[in-house]
Structure 1
């Protein structure tokens, strides 16, 4: 049952926090519902998973319209600037900001709707060509460029590690993202500390938590009907 899977995952989160010397309350489970239907998303809510993640508005629309503010919505997919209008005002968290033009469009739409959007800057730490995200050396210049944009709060950084048969091999990727977050704060570019790290998926979330993840994006380990 879903409730049992949620309990098992929460215990794994708790154990990873103990190993990392962290409080479990500082790690949020975001249920990735992008491959499941409305009924499964409703079941996730009933099981206590109130943060839901989608990667395309056209696939999320039915679920969002039925659930709306009964969930906290996270947009985790690659976002084209011409699709920002569909996302801002519906998804308070956007995890995939990787370029200035996108940040500017999110800011413009946020101002139009008088909302605040919490963004994660996506960094391609692993350097895989198949993954989106900026290069690590592009991060500080982007933070500098967007720091005055209205309606945006840099909630944190996001990355996707390569899939590894042995999750331990993903540790350097997660550690590097944490170091990049620290570099933003040390540089004092923003008037507030950047605290969030959106990293870790079903295969590697425990390692990510040990390295400082504050949000783990979990799909198949919770909703096994996903491919």
Structure 2
């Protein structure tokens, strides 16, 4: 299967999941996870009309950003971000998905101020409390949100969640359900410096269930490019 054919299949699955949950297809944005992919492969997805690029590593972002040099692209930092590397990509990202600690918030705010811009971020929450994954525990998020009010160059736009891998995605539906509930709870508070716009959850193995439970950003790599070499 070609990349373009894979994208058509993913798009149909997104449409079907939206139909099952009575949602509009336009409510859900597909992010292509381009980790380890070549410039040629990324250009192929751009030619297919997919402009949202998700990357996990700072070095890859720097290499690809300059090589692609396309204004229509939206860049998403979806991997764990070390504070000492923020300075390299602060002016390149449209959305940081992985804000998970105050030290990173402080550095993002500092670098954004120096760049004279406000950066959009998602708070990463570890709903399943997996030790192997980053993200804060659900019970810690309220204190974290309270702390963010002193960082005016950070704009919280929602939450990012990673579910445990399971051969049977139905087993992890509860993770997405809990994330959506937390998302709505925060939204109801109408906190002035928080704009709950995005719920980023769901990957190749489970994005359909994530959409059914309320995701509006899904991050798909293997489903588009095939298994990494």
TM-score normalised per structure 1: 0.96
Q: 1:184-215: CA deviations, max 9, x gaps? A: 12233235541211000000000000000010
State the match for 1:198 in structure 2: 200
Q: Is the 8 A contact 1:2 1:222 kept in 2?
A: yes
Q: Is the 8 A contact 2:62 2:89 kept in 1?
A: no
Q: Is the 8 A contact 2:28 2:215 kept in 1?
A: yes
* Pairing of 1:5-20 with structure 2 (within 5 A): 5-20=6-21
Paired residues in the alignment total 227
* Pairing of 1:31-110 with structure 2 (within 5 A): 31-68=32-69, 69-110=71-112
* Pairing of 1:120-131 with structure 2 (within 5 A): 120-131=122-133
* Pairing of 1:127-206 with structure 2 (within 5 A): 127-191=129-193, 193-206=195-208
Q: 1:17-46: CA deviations, max 9, x gaps? A: 111111110100000001211111111111
Q: Give the deviation of 1:127 after TM superposition.
A: 1.0
Q: Give the deviation of 1:92 after TM superposition.
A: 1.6
Cα distance in 1 for residues equivalent to 2:54 and 2:9: 20
Instruction: Find out whether 1:117 has 2:119 as its counterpart.
Output: yes
Q: Is the 8 A contact 2:4 2:44 kept in 1?
A: no
Gaps of 5+ in 2: none
What RMSD, in angstroms, separates the aligned Cα atoms of the two structures? 1.3
State the match for 1:3 in structure 2: 4
Q: Is the 8 A contact 1:147 1:189 kept in 2?
A: no
TM-score normalised per structure 2: 0.95
